[in-house]
Structure 1
């Protein structure tokens, strides 16, 4: 796929750089496409287009915004197979996972945002006035490569439905699905300037968006390090910021839990998407006296996951997304051995000549001070940490700069009591299932703000309090 243009002000236009970013298939290491390498000039043109479009779009009735967004939904549904094929190729996601997590999930998010906005009250009357929720302005959306379409949906869709205009900068490693989304907005007939797409490198396009004086908000998903850098630039002009950052989530397995269910859930959470999920359960906390029996379950179940060609229906785990990721994960696995952890599953990856494949790794006898237990590895690597008491387990789980997700398996109500003591934005208790209306985000260095549900919609609104005489009634 060769995308030689950017989507700005309702048109496909060439970049001012006349340069390209190549897209690599991580399973074959072959170049499968190129996208335009946007620059600061392109960003300025896109932001100005969004800025000019904002006044009229903010005044557009919500019902009409929804009608146009429903056309985007229809376009994506019609092109679902194209999207699946793109995620298999640009990300290396196995077919089953590409369909469920990278296409069906994001489309469901879009449908849900439409449903929520239909019933959302942008005005709340008070005794002496009202609360009005206004769109913010131009929103710069900076999205990652690990869930290329999913993270875009969490930002672009609610922002535009709320009356904002958007400039999207997708990841340079996995931008192809965003091009399909741009085609969807074009097909739906959105007013020019409401949605703009500038592909390119983070340090060029992303930084230009973060510092542009006409951008009112930056919504960023990525590493904690990247979030700190972007937010520092954005705060020079006191932009609103929303940050969805890293995680090192703990799964506390209590004595008396269904150990097989707890282990399988943990493995799936980390091994799906090849461990490239910010909310993955990467620390498995187990009762010290049951360590050996739980290790046996881990070894047995880990062998059920098939690593290989993402084009095959039988593949569970595809490659890591890039050479950079491969070398990073390899380094952490070596670090784990050097720190004295005991590898009970997997091996140190060797060559990436035939793709960036890494066999899942599980370390045991890990202590929370080890780097493999503290740092976000972003690969299929799990640390088993034994604990002495329930209080000890809670302390270990909370002893992290992150607080994005977590889980507790064990007898209720103890499992629920433990979950309530965890300093994290999301907690699963036993076989709890995620609710699409629930917000997602983290405590501490896992981010600022939330995505999803009503709270995710309200991230893209400003709140105004209006006061007037009690007997006066103003119709909006």
Structure 2
């Protein structure tokens, strides 16, 4: 039986939206409707923004420690409700139970804790010669979040905005909205003042665009496709509001000669298939020296086939068909299929599952080497010189992430410095939730996480003496 969410959260209360229209939420494992959420209108956005505007002066005037105390209550409540949160995330976007709990909820808990600690450590005021430099909240923030990490992407924006003293209007993805509703129940129970946090639901072209264009929104933070991010920027430019964009990627995993090839390839497959490949920073291009290509394909094929039981489905029918279309295009353009393919996995009759796929004989001009696929599809590409590897890695309109494997850390770092990308994993370095996350080129602008993420939501004022 599906759950009907018939209210949105505005000014500290669950409120009926202006329209009775709803949006179905489909479980990608079963292809059944599991929930409905309101299809809000620009009128609902107006109410939410007005509530955030009224609440801003009071919230901005609170001490950072007071803001952190409320966020601590929210984090503790989220920790208590981890199982319930993981369950709705699995139902909405298909993440296996272990991934939903450990990553989809575990990572937001870490992010919240990092901003709670940063509230005390951050230099809110500092001297620059004869001036006092103070940092103040930017104002009302519109946060537009995606479906692939439905809670994590909310906390990435909400936590720093709240610690900065901003008030927020969130539009969660209509594809995977239940985590947002549950999290706002938590924020309500934590006791945030009315209007400080607000939640609307609906589609990007209606609700997202209303937020981006709204004259009383001082900043919009968007995570999603480069195409949609371009539209957000266009709408926001009319009011010269601040814009932070975390967009697409086509990240390269460069394995240099002499690196631990088997380890690097296995880690690269994991990096490509993270969240069933539905990760903007996924390492979807594996670059190996031509002499190492046969062994790399062998190891990648085995690793991909072993991963099949750990992957969840793609989020919906649209994404399912899109990824299968890319696989077909890869074959049509001359790439060699090492494993996987567009057919349903053996024994699967329902759900949007795609076989873990590995292509070899991929060249830089092929579509699968250039466009973001957002599914479990890995392209292995050969190079002959380190200079060629650098050129291939940087030959993309994106610049979000990447990885380098080399015999020594020094060699890997030297190569990583030449990559035009926002972050690089060095010899398997782990994701760091307090390091800046964001991209170069068409992967967006601005940074999330840690101190750099907090600074996105702050204005800087100089008091001259």
Aligned to 2:285: 283
Aligned to 1:388: 384
Report 1:425-444 matches (<5 A).
425-444=422-441
Aligned to 2:100: 98
Report 1:116-155 matches (<5 A).
116-155=118-157
- Secondary structure, counterpart of 1:363 in structure 2: strand
- Secondary structure, counterpart of 1:298 in structure 2: helix
- Secondary structure, counterpart of 2:231 in structure 1: helix
Q: TM-score, normalised by structure 1?
A: 0.95
2-side partners of 1:123 and 1:290: how far apart?
53
2-side partners of 1:387 and 1:218: how far apart?
41
Q: Deviations over 1:150-187 (max 9, x none)?
A: 01000011101110000000000011011111111111
1-side partners of 2:276 and 2:383: how far apart?
27
Q: TM-score, normalised by structure 2?
A: 0.97
Could you tell me which of 326, 344, 367 is aligned with 2:320? Answer: 326
- Secondary structure, counterpart of 1:438 in structure 2: coil
Report 1:7-406 matches (<5 A).
7-307=9-309, 316-350=310-344, 354-406=350-402
Q: CA deviation at 1:450?
A: 0.2
Q: CA deviation at 1:431?
A: 2.4
Q: CA deviation at 1:66?
A: 1.2
Aligned to 1:417: 414
Q: Deviations over 1:114-152 (max 9, x none)?
A: 111121121112331211111011100000000000010
Q: Deviations over 1:254-292 (max 9, x none)?
A: 111111111111111111211000000000001112211
Q: CA deviation at 1:410?
A: 1.5
Q: Does 1:445 align with 2:439?
A: no
Runs of 4+ in 1 over 3 A off after TM superposition: 350-353
Aligned to 1:456: 453
Q: CA deviation at 1:306?
A: 2.8
Aligned to 1:311: none
- Secondary structure, counterpart of 2:129 in structure 1: coil
- Kept in 1, the 8 Å contact 2:30–2:350? The answer is yes
Q: Which moved more, 1:214-223 or 1:403-412?
A: 403-412
Q: CA deviation at 1:425?
A: 0.4
Q: Which moved more, 1:335-344 or 1:291-300?
A: 291-300
1-side partners of 2:351 and 2:430: how far apart?
34
Q: CA deviation at 1:350?
A: 4.8
- Secondary structure, counterpart of 1:148 in structure 2: coil
2-side partners of 1:197 and 1:336: how far apart?
41
Q: CA deviation at 1:353?
A: 5.9
1-side partners of 2:431 and 2:23: how far apart?
36
- Secondary structure, counterpart of 2:308 in structure 1: coil
- Kept in 1, the 8 Å contact 2:403–2:428? The answer is no
- Secondary structure, counterpart of 2:252 in structure 1: strand
Query: Which 5+ residue runs of structure 1 have no aligned equivalent?
Result: 308-315, 469-476
Q: CA deviation at 1:435?
A: 2.2
2-side partners of 1:189 and 1:437: how far apart?
26
**How much is the aligned-residue C-alpha RMSD, in angstroms?**
1.1
Q: Deviations over 1:368-410 (max 9, x none)?
A: 1111000000000011110010110001000110000001111
Aligned to 1:473: none
Q: How many residues are treated as equivalent by the alignment?
A: 460
